[in-house]
Structure 1
Amino acid sequence: MGLLTPLAVRIGALSWMPKLLPQVVWTDTRLQRLTRGRVTILDVAGLPNLALTVPGRKSGIPRTTPLLCVPHLDGWLVAGSYFGGPKTPLWVANLRATTTATIRFKGVEREVTWREVEGEERAELWQVMLRTWPNFAKYEERTTRVIPVFYLQPA
């Protein structure tokens, strides 16, 4: 965690934040282009993150999405939260349509396998995720959908 993490948590908790997601993504994309992929908004906020690359389920074109992640045991936890918005993020369907993915974590690219966690395991890992990003609880309150949680591990 970094100096700006408490501020990021406060901003991420704002109820109108999901409406700004397109602007956040636009800003983050420009920042990553400027730094040749070395810095993301999540880095600036002092939060652990990875870039997930999976082929589009229809196009087959590789799609990369920066995600807040929670390093856990020998892998990473990610959630399809979309700030608690009503729709599941597109990367979730793309991930579900493939067996492996590529991530970039701390500048190192690697192939990963994944599994969606459910039931009691999801409840336990959700608590682990809340320790890194307490706003996941707010996102859960904002939506009627179950936020999917994935555990990524090196292939």
Structure 2
Amino acid sequence: MKILAEKIGGSRLFAAVASKVAPPVDRALYRWLGGRTLGAGPPTLLLTTFGRRTGRQRTVPLLYVRDGERLAVAASNWGRERHPEWSGNLLANPRALVRLGAALEERRARLATSEEREKLWPRFIELWPAYAAYQRRCGREIRIFLLEDARSSTANHPC
């Protein structure tokens, strides 16, 4: 099953189609179902960033991995050469809103250190095997962001 998920999920055709169809459908279903999933799919959250040029809120559905109290997300952009816009937004402004189930939380994002990335990356591949194909195809290191509790990190990074 993992090989099939990597082969299909990692194909350029899947990425081209899914990148257009999945985000709006996932956002709508996530909100309509209150964060519940229709099946045993991978854990998903809605991440809202603030546009680095416009300041407008941008919301994307993302798979995530738990790392203690932190949540980790991978900026794979479906294996494209460019980083996704939301990751650039987080680099410019680490404040983020995370909808996890019915709960909406403010989080502070930061890039994972190389040690954290080394620990987390295999967990992302286990979660969605197509990440391995994305990494091979994109020609860049896929950014991993840690979303930390904004209250515990506000002393170091005011919003």
**TM-score, normalised to structure 1's length?**
0.81
Q: Deviation per CA, 1:83-134, whole angstroms, max 9, x where unpaired?
A: 2111111111111111321100112100111210132321111122222122
Does 2:52 align with 1:20? Answer: no
1:115 to 74, 93, 110: 110
Residue type of the alignment partner of 2:16? K
Does 2:131 align with 1:139? Answer: no
In structure 2, relative to structure 1, the CA distance for the partners of 1:52 and 1:39 (3 Å cut) is same
Q: Which structure 1 segments of 5+ residues have no match?
A: none
Q: Aligned equivalents of 1:111 and 1:35: distance in 2?
A: 18
Any idea what SS the aligned residue of 1:145 has? coil
2:98 to 91, 97, 103: 103
TM-aligned CA deviation for residue 10 of structure 1 = 5.6
Partner of 2:147: 152
Alignment of 1:34-49 (within 5 A): 36-38=31-33, 46-49=41-44
Partner of 1:71: 66
Does 2:157 align with 1:130? Answer: no
Count, aligned residues: 149
Q: Which structure 2 segments of 5+ residues have no match?
A: 151-159
Percent of pairs identical after alignment? 34
